[in-house]
Homo-oligomer: A and B are copies of this chain.
Amino acid sequence: MDAITLVAVVSIVTAGLTIAIGALGPALAQGRAIAQALAAIAQQPDEAPTLSRTLFVGLAMIESLAIYCFVVSMILIFANPFWNALLQAAHGG
């Protein structure tokens, strides 16, 4: 198979696996954080605002890890420099 097809194939597989594996850890981590936040609010209802704020800052940091993966996945599908270079080479060749 030629180079362009191969890069396309590999980009598809990698894009999918990157976001699939990359969503696993953050999901479990967010689940744990939210579960503990609910337990903490039930234990200290008066501290709900402080707990919520800490929770949301934490969720945002965890979400950032999944977004790194999503960004790489999107780059591989829509802005893949290797694909562009090979396409350019093929058209200019």
Contact = CB atoms under 8 A, between A and B. Distances in A.
Interface residues of A, number: 79
B12 A76 contact: yes
A26 B64 CA distance: 11
A82 to B, nearest CB: 4
Interface string A9-25: 11111111111111111
Interface of A: 1-48, 50-52, 54-59, 61-66, 68-70, 72-73, 75-78, 80-83, 85-87
| 10 A-B pairs with least C-beta separation | A29-B31, A25-B27, A34-B58, A35-B36, A40-B42, A14-B16, A3-B5, A8-B82, A24-B25, A16-B18
